[in-house]
Structure 1
Amino acid sequence: MSPKEIKDSGISEALDYITYIGLGVSMGSLVLCLLIEAIVWQSVNKNKTSYIRHVSIVNLALSLLIADIWFIIGAAIDASTPACSAATFFIHFFYLALFFWMLTLAILLFFRVILVFKDLGKSQMLAIAFCLGYGCPLIIAVVSVAVTAPEDHYTRKDTCWLNWDNTMVLLAFVIPALVIITINLIILIVVIFKMLRRTIGDKPRAEETSTLKVVARCIAILTPFLGLTWGFGIGMVVAPDNKGIHVVFTVLNAFQVFIFDR
């Protein structure tokens, strides 16, 4: 999310340690998440909504896992080699896929809570989910490569990530990510408001309390699900030299194991 690396070598080294430890923990949790999904798949997909939700969760976890793997590969590759461009493409694509699968989950939530009288078939919902989850990131990643190819400014000189100084192609990641975060936050607020308005006041006191607990649980789970931790990336874009923002962003996103906590 940052247009440049932080100059303080001590902070930079600390961030490297946090990143690799965090990614290790997250990758282990994501593998465990996928294994559990495989074991309980038949029992949790008894209706259409649950099925699409779990398809989204599996692909979200898979996208984040593959993105993290490519991130580590990219960190080990010489930035001057063609392999660096390939690694950057896959990092770009799979991290974008993570965000678009988050958007898919948010749209599913909005659709089932707000548009209760609308209905689509399972195959239609699945087609829309995959087009959104993988089609949109692929288009953005391919266009980014095509636009920067003539000047060979797709990657940075010193690291395997999207260029900023020459082409600002980093915006092809930052803008979609922040737009999706904003959309998801709006959807989350609308859904919670709808749930509260629909239930509170017309049910017994005990059920009101139960509903509030459900809403609180939704907030606790969906907030990280919908990528609000990445919102700290705005600070990195605006103030890339701020050490504190770098540390907070790295800790929150390196240890992104929230998908497993559901």
Structure 2
Amino acid sequence: MSPFTLDKIQAIILDFIIYLGVGISMGSLVLCLIIEIIIWKLVTRNDTSYVRHVSIVNIAVSLLIADICFIIGAHVVNKGESPCSTATFFMHFFYLALFFWMLLLALFLLSRIIMGFSRMTKEAMMGIGFTAGYGAPLIIAVITVASTAGNKGYIQQDYNCWLNWNKTKALLAFVIPALMTVAINLLVLIVVLFEMLRRGINASIQQDEKQPLVIIARCVAILTPLFAITWGFGIGTMVSSDFGIHVVFAFLNSLQVFLTAVESLERRVSS
């Protein structure tokens, strides 16, 4: 996804790292979703567990579809602008959806721990979740296409189908929202951990919802720093052509997807 063009040997090495990692990750995500289907009724007995599992399922689905689009994009990069633009649009949309669902999960945790907010109906919470989780990424993706496609500046086709950087800086339409959600998640995590250590989980929260909230906190605590470190190196690939930075980002990006799947799988089995 870097705006820099790598030589043939470097590209082969990066492709190997990326495809191996993404392949393993996709298998893990599929396994997670299958297990989720099997145990769904057993793990969604209260509103907190329901919201948590819906969020994690949407994170996994978004990540899986984005990775499928990434592989498709790699195979149509030399087949014309239209197939590449389509793959780029869906990658942009679903990768952003992943970050927004992570943000929603963190904000739900904040609302329950800090404010003890429990009176909103399950339907209302899901309405807000799906509207923000997919609506905001869709708006960003559509605006990016509308503002750059006319100048043929929507995609870069030098190495892989992805948002353009050199001509229009369209890549910022992914980087800025992604890093903003990571920053907000880190802030939420600090506040939540401080409150949990200071006074424990609010006594107004029902007993059967306390364990799911702790699990949500653990999920956010593990995945958010991983996203932050990974996309920190992602920024490095935007400003530097150093091969080492590209290798580290490719490895961390693959590891990020794999650990997301493993964490989701572990949470499903343990709950």
Q: Normalising by structure 2, what TM-score?
A: 0.84
**What is the letter of the counterpart of residue 65 of structure 2?**
I
Task: Tell me if structure 1 keeps the 8 A contact 2:85–2:161.
Answer: yes
Seq. identity, %: 55
**CA deviations over 1:111-133 (Å, ceiling 9, x no partner):** 11111156311111101110111
Superposition pairs of residues 153-192 of structure 1, within 5 angstroms:
153-158=153-158, 159-192=160-193
Runs of 5+ unmatched residues, structure 1: 201-213
**What is the letter of the counterpart of residue 174 of structure 1?**
V
When residues 236 and 87 of structure 1 are mapped into structure 2, their CA distance, relative to the original with a 3 A threshold, is same
* 1:257 match: secondary structure: helix
Separation in structure 2 between the aligned mates of residue 80 and residue 178 of structure 1, nearest angstrom: 31
Task: Tell me if structure 2 keeps the 8 A contact 1:221–1:258.
Answer: no
State the partner residue of 1:235. Answer: 236
State the partner residue of 1:130. Answer: 130
Separation in structure 2 between the aligned mates of residue 191 and residue 62 of structure 1, nearest angstrom: 27
Q: Using the TM superposition, give the Cα deviation of residue 223 of structure 1 relative to its aligned residue in structure 2, in angstroms.
A: 3.5
**What is the letter of the counterpart of residue 82 of structure 1?**
S
Q: Using the TM superposition, give the Cα deviation of residue 156 of structure 1 relative to its aligned residue in structure 2, in angstroms.
A: 1.1
Separation in structure 2 between the aligned mates of residue 246 and residue 219 of structure 1, nearest angstrom: 31
Superposition pairs of residues 1-262 of structure 1, within 5 angstroms:
2-5=2-5, 7-77=6-76, 78=78, 80-117=80-117, 119-158=119-158, 159-199=160-200, 221-226=219-224, 227-228=227-228, 229-237=230-238, 239-255=239-255, 256-259=257-260, 260-261=262-263, 262=267
Separation in structure 2 between the aligned mates of residue 102 and residue 67 of structure 1, nearest angstrom: 15
The count of aligned residue pairs is: 247
When residues 101 and 218 of structure 1 are mapped into structure 2, their CA distance, relative to the original with a 3 A threshold, is closer
* 1:169 match: secondary structure: coil
State the partner residue of 2:204. Answer: none
Separation in structure 1 between the aligned mates of residue 184 and residue 221 of structure 2, nearest angstrom: 12
Q: Normalising by structure 1, what TM-score?
A: 0.87
State the partner residue of 1:210. Answer: none
Separation in structure 2 between the aligned mates of residue 191 and residue 32 of structure 1, nearest angstrom: 31
Q: Using the TM superposition, give the Cα deviation of residue 220 of structure 1 relative to its aligned residue in structure 2, in angstroms.
A: 5.9
